[in-house]
Each structure stands twice: as structure tokens, then as C-alpha cells.
Chains A and B, each alone.
Chain A
């Protein structure tokens, strides 16, 4: 086993990172890019582990079994800092704190590694502060920035980082990972990898969450039941409910666990009233969770619309006579019938309507139900 095991379909990237980790003085700034779900942050963490690995021979680094590899992958290694944000932007204060941290010599590892997972979520001024730090790094510090694509970070940053670009992994590789690591059945893994279009995180959830699979198949079959304005408006309401259920089920468990963790960390009494100092921290957490809940609904709606898009992409595939495999192979018969009753031109219009609604929900404060209704009547 090694730290590279869980990066499906990224053999070229693994080769690049493995030889970098063997080097005496690896490049001190990296930019990892790849579409959502391709495994950017996993790759960054694996690389950090290989950099800190305790194996004597450089070619064995990234063993996945030594203490350093374990702690880096678990996120508890003292010399590896991982910054992930649930917020819209990383603040300048956070970046300043990181830069201060970057000045420290590593305590136990060979390097001080700083991973910034959402380097694209930074204002220009914040980026400039970071830039200075990357230009003049302390001798034993390595920066790893992650973003969806190189175009998402400023060119000044891009030009100072060595690029690592992850590709969308082939569905078979994602399926193999789900079977090996999560113990999914080959059928469930194959289905999840295909319909998620190789988004590793989404695929994992679909593979082991029956309800998530159920929700997705209801979303994808919505267009099959649209014959009237009435049905469209009712379907939009259902889509809205499904996304809210989805967001709720994914955040509830996490929120409870976080609260529990915080109370333990604060040493809160088992029963009775919380002291005032703790109450304010719990309240802060609850506010963060509330903010995140809104984001979770937005994300779930977006996911639902990506799923809906796959229906029409399949219809288009059939209408254009391209012989590629369907994403929603499981409802091929229904898709074929739908495709023969409509035209490719109308399919494109429907895809546009979904795209416009996605854009609205992601970038404006539009009322979600109304936006979905407008989309649904446009699919008639």
C-alpha cells in the first residue's frame, strides 16, 4: 500500500509527484488543478505525506505505513497545515496567519507544508499578500495551492507555481476505488461512478447511501412526467423538496458531531447550564452551521440540476446518433422514447433553461422554488 492508492486514474500525476518527493530540494510552490471531484485535495495531501515520509530510501517515500504518512493523511501532522474554507472567500487575515506559520521551521518533519484547498476563493489583494510569501519562501517551507483550473488563480501566482493537473478519472477507476476502499458491490460502484460522471465525492455517497440513490433517480426521471403546466409546477415543488432533504441529511449528522466535539474540547459539564464563555462559542458554531446550511441547500440544488442535465445530455446523445454510452443507462428505454418524440433543437433549449437556472441559483439571491418552476415550465 502507499499514499498514492486512492487517486484513481491519475497515474501521470502520481509519477510526477513521486519523483518530486524523491528530490533533495523539491520546488517550493505547487498549483494543483482539476475539476470538482477529481481528487485535488486528496492528491495534495498524498504529496504532503510523501514529502514527510520517514522511509530511508527516497524511492520508498509515500509508504503509507510510517507514522508521518499516517498523521499527514489523518490531518494531524504538526508540520502540515490544511486550509479549507466553507466560506465564500478566504480573508486577508487568514492568509497573514498562514504566512506567519510558514516562517516556522518544521518541528518533526522534513518540511513545513501548507495546503490551501480553495486558492481560487481569494480577493486580488489577498492574493498579492500571498504572492510575496511565495516569492521569498523560508528554506524548508512548501506551499501547495489547489483550484479548479489554472485560470481561477491570478497569473502572477500561476507563474510562480509548478503546475499539477488532475484529469477527470475514468469511471472504471472510480468504481474500482469504491469497491476496494469502501467495500461497495461492483454493481453499485459502477452505477455510482457512471451517473456521478466520475465525481469521486458524489460517487462515494451514491454508492453507500440508498436514499441518495433514490433521490437521484427521482430527479432524473422528472422530465418523463412533464405533460402539462400543472405537472411542471408540481414537479418543481418536488425537486425543491428533494434538494432540501438532501442538504438536511448531509448536514444533520455532521452538525451534531461538531457540537459534541466542541463541547468535549471545551470540557463542558455533562448536565446543567453551560457557562457563559462556552455558550458564546457554541453559539458561534451554530451560526457557522446555519450559514453552511444555506450553502448546503444551494449545493444540493446545483447537484440536482447537474443530475437533470444528464437526462437531456443522454437524450441528445440518442438524437445525434452518437454511439457513446449513456450516463443513465438504467433508463435507456425511457430515454429512447423521449428522444424520438422531441427534436435535438428543443433538447438544446431545455439544456439552456437548466443552465440558466443553475447560474441564477448559484450567483443571485433568486427564490429557489420560483426559479425551479420557471425552469420546469421551460422543459415542457
Chain B
């Protein structure tokens, strides 16, 4: 995507600061600030731009905190066929001494056809190096987290404008309210709306897509699974995962439903008594009693255990977190005697 004239004009404000939407490859590019998503976008843009002119560009990734002396020089040394090189260095905020030394040396003798992108996500470490980079005239991309809703609304507007589309002010606000806590989610939501809808996007469309999205979906999956409606649970789950819902809250919803059902199952006493005992509202107790009617103690035990397994797996223990979740939902749904 080439930058549309006007909307992504390089905004050189203070010194050599360049917007992440407008950054171009340079011998050294410095990306600062804690909003990782914007930093990734800036890096992707540089990569993309380089490949336009140098399709065979050779890319190396380095971590400044685990850096070993000489790595930078090695990565920058000319290759046999003289391809252009892109060296991306992350972790500058915890850079080690070796990196500081090598990077300082490199600044004074950059290598032609090599683009070095440095990412420093905040803090005082390596300030001298950063100052030297800035003083040398390298472009600096500042990726500060977008804190104000107005900034996020502006972000949404730009995403739409870059795709030559538009969103109504109410729509942008609704979107920010629904998924604005994470910028990457906000961007994913924008791209989904752009691909799924046509014309100007209004608040009604946003509401249909993202109104109470994650919680509602997660509980829909959990409700279906605990009621023994396996195919409904699985299809809802797959749809949720396909639209980018994080598996972690899905497991949390299963755990929460199982918890209330398990507490109430087999417990003696009136709804009011149980509500007091378990810290729930009486109607929650009644719902849990109804949900728990098809469950034997053995089935509940199995369901709790398989959910705990899935929790560990979606958090990194499994190669296939989606399968872990599908397995849990399937076992839960087939463990219950389906309600008529």
C-alpha cells in the first residue's frame, strides 16, 4: 500500500520525529515508546518499503538484552551476492554492555545498503546511545500508548481513511468503547469491519459486531457446553476463535459457570440459604440448580479437571491451544445428561 498523498505526509515535527504511518527506510531508524503494536506496525512498514525496492533483502533479528559482542558487525557485513540487509534489534530498554559498545561503534561507521531498526520501549537505560542516534539525524518513530479516547477515535478514522472508507463519529466512538483497551484489538476490529461491510460504518453495525462481544460469546459457548449441546457449543467456539476472540476468557467463562454449578450441585438448603452461603444472588442459585440438573459428581469432577488442563494449555503449554479448548468443550458437553 503506497501512502496516500496528504493523509500520510511525513510529519516532521520536533527534529527528526516521523509518524509510524510515514516512516521510510534509512541507515539507522530508532523506534521508541511502549506501544508495541505501533512499533510492530512501524517495523512492518519499513520491511514492506524495503522489499518494494530490494525484494531479496536479508533480514536479521537481534535482542539487545541477550546480545553477544560482534553480532551487529557480523549481520551488517556484506554478503556474497551483495543483497541489501535489514537488521531489527529489539529489547534496547534492557540492552547489555556489549550491545551498547557495538552499537555506538556502528553509528560512526554505518554500512551502505544496510538498514538498522532499533526498538527501545522506554526507560532510562541506554539514554546516551539514543541521544547519539538522534544527534546523528536518524529518523525517530515515537510509539507512545494512545491514552485518550480522542486519540483512539482518531486512530480508527485514519485506519478507515487509509483504506479509502469512512466511519461515522458515533461508530468510531462505539468501537473504541467496545474494544479500545488494546490497540491491537482495535486495529483487528477495524480490519474486520473493513472487510465484512460496505459503505460508511455506523454505530448500529459496530454494535452488531462488538456489543459486549467477548463476554457474551464466551458465556454462549459455556452455556451450550454445560447444557450438553455439543455441536452448538463447538460451532460458537470456532466462530469466536475465527473472529479473533482470545481463548483465555473463553476458558475463564467455562470455569466460572462450572464453579457456580459445582457449588450448588448437591448442596442442601433453600435458594436463599445457599445464596448467602456462596455469596451469590438467589436467582443465580436457581439458574445454577437448573444448569446442574444433568450433572453427576463424576461428570463435574471430569469437567473441572479438563477445564483446568485447557487453561494451562491455552497459556502456552500446548502446541495447539485451539484443540485444547475444543477438547474441553467436547468433554464437558458429552459428560452431561442433556436436558430435554
Task: Return chain A residues, CB-CB under 8 Å to B262.
Answer: 229-230, 232-233, 373, 377
The interface bits of chain B over 57-82 (1 if a CB of A lies within 8 angstroms of the residue's CB, else 0) are 00000000010100000000000000
Task: Return chain A residues, CB-CB under 8 Å to B312.
Answer: 360, 364, 366, 371
Task: Return chain B residues, CB-CB under 8 Å to A371.
Answer: 308, 311-312
Q: How far is the CB of A307 from chain B (nearest CB, A)?
A: 21
Q: A228-B266, A366-B315 are in contact. Are A233 and B308 (CB under 8 A)?
A: no
Give the docked Cα–Cα distance between A367 and B253 (Å).
12
Q: How far is the CB of B129 from chain A (nearest CB, A)?
A: 15
Q: A233-B263, A364-B317 are in contact. Are A370 and B301 (CB under 8 A)?
A: no
Task: Return chain B residues, CB-CB under 8 Å to A96.
Answer: 97
| Residue B265, interface by CB 8 Å | yes
| Residue A310, interface by CB 8 Å | no
Q: How far is the CB of B196 from chain A (nearest CB, A)?
A: 33
Give the docked Cα–Cα distance between A86 and B305 (Å).
32
Contact B307 A374 (CB under 8 A): yes
Task: Return chain A residues, CB-CB under 8 Å to B259.
Answer: 233, 373
Q: How far is the CB of A235 from chain B (nearest CB, A)?
A: 11
Task: Return chain B residues, CB-CB under 8 Å to A228.
Answer: 265-267, 297
The interface bits of chain A over 40-83 (1 if a CB of B lies within 8 angstroms of the residue's CB, else 0) are 00000000000000000000000000000000000000000000
Task: Return chain A residues, CB-CB under 8 Å to B308.
Answer: 366, 370-371, 373-374
Contact B316 A364 (CB under 8 A): yes
Contact A378 B311 (CB under 8 A): no
Contact A365 B315 (CB under 8 A): yes
The interface bits of chain A over 343-380 (1 if a CB of B lies within 8 angstroms of the residue's CB, else 0) are 00000000000000000100011110111011001101
Give the docked Cα–Cα distance between A92 and B305 (Å).
41
Task: Return chain B residues, CB-CB under 8 Å to A331.
Answer: none
Q: DSSP class of B's interface residues: helix, strand, loop or mixed? A: helix
Task: Return chain A residues, CB-CB under 8 Å to B297.
Answer: 228-229, 380
Task: Return chain B residues, CB-CB under 8 Å to A125.
Answer: 66, 68
| Residue A155, interface by CB 8 Å | no
Task: Return chain A residues, CB-CB under 8 Å to B255.
Answer: 367, 369-370, 373
CB-based nearest A residue for B278: A234
| Residue A93, interface by CB 8 Å | yes
> What is the size category of the interface that chain B forms with chain A?
20 to 34
Task: Return chain B residues, CB-CB under 8 Å to A234.
Answer: 263, 278
Contact A367 B304 (CB under 8 A): no
Contact B307 A370 (CB under 8 A): yes
Give the docked Cα–Cα distance between A360 and B301 (Å).
18
Give the docked Cα–Cα distance between A90 and B307 (Å).
35
Task: Return chain A residues, CB-CB under 8 Å to B304.
Answer: 229, 233, 370, 373-374, 377
| Residue B252, interface by CB 8 Å | yes
Give the docked Cα–Cα distance between A377 and B299 (Å).
11
The interface bits of chain A over 223-237 (1 if a CB of B lies within 8 angstroms of the residue's CB, else 0) are 000001110111000
The interface bits of chain B over 262-298 (1 if a CB of A lies within 8 angstroms of the residue's CB, else 0) are 1111110000000000100000000000000000010
Task: Return chain A residues, CB-CB under 8 Å to B265.
Answer: 228-230
Contact B301 A377 (CB under 8 A): yes
Task: Return chain B residues, CB-CB under 8 Å to A93.
Answer: 96-97
Give the docked Cα–Cα distance between A96 and B263 (Å).
54
| Residue B300, interface by CB 8 Å | yes
Task: Return chain B residues, CB-CB under 8 Å to A364.
Answer: 312, 315-317
- Of residues A230, A366, A367, A377, which shows the largest number of chain B Cβ atoms within 10 Å of its Cβ? A230
Q: How far is the CB of A299 from chain B (nearest CB, A)?
A: 20
CB-based nearest B residue for A227: B266
Partner of B300, one of A229, A360, A366, A367: A229
Give the docked Cα–Cα distance between A340 and B194 (Å).
67
Q: How far is the CB of A363 from chain B (nearest CB, A)?
A: 9
CB-based nearest A residue for B300: A229
Give the docked Cα–Cα distance between A228 and B308 (Å).
19
Partner of A230, one of B263, B307, B309: B263
Task: Return chain A residues, CB-CB under 8 Å to B97.
Answer: 93, 96
Contact B266 A229 (CB under 8 A): yes
Contact A92 B96 (CB under 8 A): yes
Contact B316 A377 (CB under 8 A): no
Task: Return chain B residues, CB-CB under 8 Å to A377.
Answer: 262, 300-301, 304-305
Give the docked Cα–Cα distance between A80 and B300 (Å).
57
Contact A230 B305 (CB under 8 A): no
Q: How far is the CB of A322 from chain B (nearest CB, A)?
A: 31
Give the docked Cα–Cα distance between A92 and B99 (Å).
13
Give the docked Cα–Cα distance between A271 and B212 (Å).
45
Q: How far is the CB of A256 from chain B (nearest CB, A)?
A: 26
Give the docked Cα–Cα distance between A373 and B251 (Å).
14
Q: How far is the CB of B329 from chain A (nearest CB, A)?
A: 15
The interface bits of chain B over 247-262 (1 if a CB of A lies within 8 angstroms of the residue's CB, else 0) are 0000110010001001
Contact A366 B311 (CB under 8 A): yes
Within 8 A of B (CB), among A216-266: 228-230, 232-234
Task: Return chain B residues, CB-CB under 8 Å to A365.
Answer: 315-316
Q: How far is the CB of B277 from chain A (nearest CB, A)?
A: 8
Give the docked Cα–Cα distance between A152 and B251 (Å).
35
Contact A229 B301 (CB under 8 A): yes
Q: How far is the CB of B69 from chain A (nearest CB, A)?
A: 11
Task: Return chain A residues, CB-CB under 8 Å to B96.
Answer: 92-93
Footprint of B on A, CB under 8 Å? 92-93, 96, 125, 228-230, 232-234, 360, 364-367, 369-371, 373-374, 377-378, 380
Footprint of A on B, CB under 8 Å? 66, 68, 96-97, 251-252, 255, 259, 262-267, 278, 297, 300-301, 304-305, 307-309, 311-312, 315-317
Known contacts A228-B266, A365-B316; 10 additional CB pairs below 8 A are: A93-B97, A230-B267, A366-B308, A366-B312, A370-B311, A373-B255, A373-B259, A373-B304, A373-B308, A378-B301
Q: Closest 5 interchain pairs by CB?
A: A374-B308, A377-B301, A233-B262, A230-B267, A365-B315
